[in-house]
Structures are given as structure tokens and as C-alpha cells.
Amino acid sequence: MNMALGTRSKLKGFRAPFVVTTAAALAVACGGSAFDDSGSGGSGGSAASGGTGAVGGSGAVGGSGAVGGSGAVGGSSVGGSSGSVGTGGSAGTAGTGGSPACPETPPSAFDSCPEGINEAGGCHYTIGCQSGTYPFTFKCTDYGSWTLEGYACSNPYDSCPGTEINCYDQWQIWEGTNPPPPCPAEKPAPSSSCDNNWGFGPATCGYRCENGQGWTVGTCHYWNDPIWAFDGACEGDCSEHDADLLDYVQANKTCNTADDCKIVYTDGCSARTEHCSGAFYVNKATSEEELHKLDTALSTCFDGGACAVCDGIPPPAACIGSQCMPDVSN
């Protein structure tokens, strides 16, 4: 195991990262979804005039808004720089249901649902999501709030930016308490920073791979300084191995005094090393063999080479808040 300090041969970072704009604007908005050619949605049908005792005809369902043209994907080669990101096309206009009470934009589950919505067939919207553009129908629950008609969805943790719609086995909007954190409209870079300051769990979100080949799911991974860790489905994404290494380090930080702690060195490929030398601070019970195995998996993902580290000497270990940490008091 390479435990020595030394200057490594290449810059620390992500292997051939791509950036893509998969955010799709609501079909009722001016912004675009990134998938098809744009077009105008149909107008809602007019209600029929009821005779004596007759019920007025329900309005026709508005036409689905067409979707904006797809954004180009930035090119990239291993070891090279990322290409520029394409621009999403403009969105079409969404139709609404027969009831004039349908809101212009998809409602929240916590908004009040007006009477007559269900009798008119619900409110219809064409909405851009991470995997494509789909028609959705909103109706009222028995409690006067909004719900989404259930449709099957095939991409786990898909989401529709600007709405509360997510894919959990089927398309749905969160109707209970403590909803999950919203997903970023654009796919975060692997091992980039994220916000896990949500009391009801971290965000878990699905996106298309940057080259359009595959679907990946990432989580705002718990760590002292959290990162987006994906499942490795996209080419060049090493964040899954980074998360495995950070999990192991985090699980082996407990201490009572500084004597319980030690410094271990890695190839420096993690986005969250605790010193530029590639060092981490862990307790003395930590298996360096296991840590080395996890570190090797990460550095191997980066084309098998060591990442950039410095020749500096890390601060001594300290036990701060019952965690092995660098002693920066001096």
C-alpha cells in the first residue's frame, strides 16, 4: 500500500466529467423541456349548455403541449476537457381540463382543490421531466386536496422540475408530511457538494447519463461535507467508490482521546480527503487493509493512476467532539 507522501502525477478531480442540462420546464411555463419539437397545446373545450335538469357538458381536454427541442450534450474525452452544454428547446403550451377552476400550473398536494374538478375530468398538463415529457391528470381527493392520477414510470427517482412529481414505482406527488428534499433541475456533477440539511432524509434523484446512454440515481451522501454519490451507471463516474471510502472513514472516527487516533494516507482521489497529502483521520481500530482496498477501487476508477496530492505534512491527530480530526489549534 502506498502510504508515503509524494507528488502525484495528475490533477485531483473527476474522470472526464460531463455536464448536462436535463431540467425540463413545466409545459405551462415559458422555459423548455429538453426532448421534442415545440408546439402549441390545444384549448380546453367549452362546456355544453344544460337543459332543464341536464348537466352541462364537460370541457374537452386541452391538447398536450409539445416539447422543446433537445439540448446538445457537451462532448468529452477521458483526460480531456468537457464540451459545452447544449441549450434546451422551448416548451409548448399545456391544455387544461374542462373546469375553468384548473390552475394554470400543476398544483401542490397541499393546495385546496376546487369543487367540480373531478366531474370535469380533472386538470390536464403536459410536463417535462428528467426522462422525457408526459401527460398528467390532477384530481381532488375526498379531503379537498390535490392528487395525481397514478401512471407507471420506468426510471427510478425521476422527477419533473418545478413540480412535486416524482417516480416512486409510479408517478405521484407527495401527499404526506415530511416530503423528500427537491431534486436539482440539472444533474449534479459526481462527488460535488450537496445540501443534506433536511430533517427528513437526503435527496435521492435520477437523471439521464450525460451521453444519453443509461439512467443513473444519486444521493446526497451523508458525510461531514456531503457529496453527490451516484450508482456508477454512467461512464467515467467514480463517485460510488468515493462514497464507499468515505463511509468507511466516517464509521471509524470515534474516539475518546487523541491517543485513539491515527493518520492514514490514500492516493488522494477522494473529493473529501482531510489534507492535501491524501490523509484521513481515523481511530486506531481501523483496518488499513480494508481502507487500502477501498482506496484502490477509487483510484483504479480514475484510469488506475494516483491523483494529485501535496508534499505537505498533515496536522497531528486530535479527538474533537469524539471524532478523530486534524488538530488545527496550533
Alpha carbon distances (Å) from 202 to 69, 148, 190, 229? 32, 24, 16, 11
Residue 41 predicted with pLDDT over 70: no
**What is the spatial distance between Cα 208 and Cα 210, in angstroms, rounded to a whole number?**
6
pLDDT of residue 97: 54
Q: What is the pLDDT of residue 284?
A: 97
Higher pLDDT, 291 or 222: 291
Average pLDDT, the chain: 75
pLDDT of residue 191 exceeding 80, the answer is yes
Say if residue 79's pLDDT is above 80. Answer: no
Residue 67 pLDDT exceeds 50: no
**What's the whole-number mean pLDDT along residues 154-178?**
90
* CA–CA dist 99, 130 (Å, integer): 29
Query: In the chain, what are the domain boundaries?
Result: 1-15+253-330, 17-45+59-235
Report residue 223's pLDDT band, with 50, 70 and 90 as the boundaries.
low
> Which stretch, 40-54, 75-89, 239-253, has highest mean pLDDT?
239-253
Q: How far is residue 235's CA from residue 237's CA, in Å, rounded to a whole number?
A: 6
Averaged pLDDT for residues 134-154: 94
Specify the pLDDT at position 307: 85
| DSSP per residue, 167-211 | EESEEEE--SSSPPPPPPSSPPPTT-B-----TT---EEEEE-TT
Percentage above 90 pLDDT, the chain: 54
Residue 132 burial class via C-beta count within 10 angstroms: exposed 0-12, middle 13-18, buried 19 and up: middle
How many Cβ atoms sit within 10 Å of the Cβ of residue 192? 16
DSSP 112-174: BPPTTTTTTT-EEEEEE-SS-EEEEEEEE-TTSBEEE--EE--STT-B-TTSSEEEESEEEE-
pLDDT digits (tens, 9 = 90+) for 224-257: 788 999 999 999 999 999 999 999 999 999 999 9
Stretch 11-16: mean pLDDT, rounded? Answer: 36
| Residue-level pLDDT at 60 | 34
Q: Residue 195, class by beta-carbon neighbours within 10 Å (0-12 exposed, 13-18 middle, 19+ buried)?
A: exposed
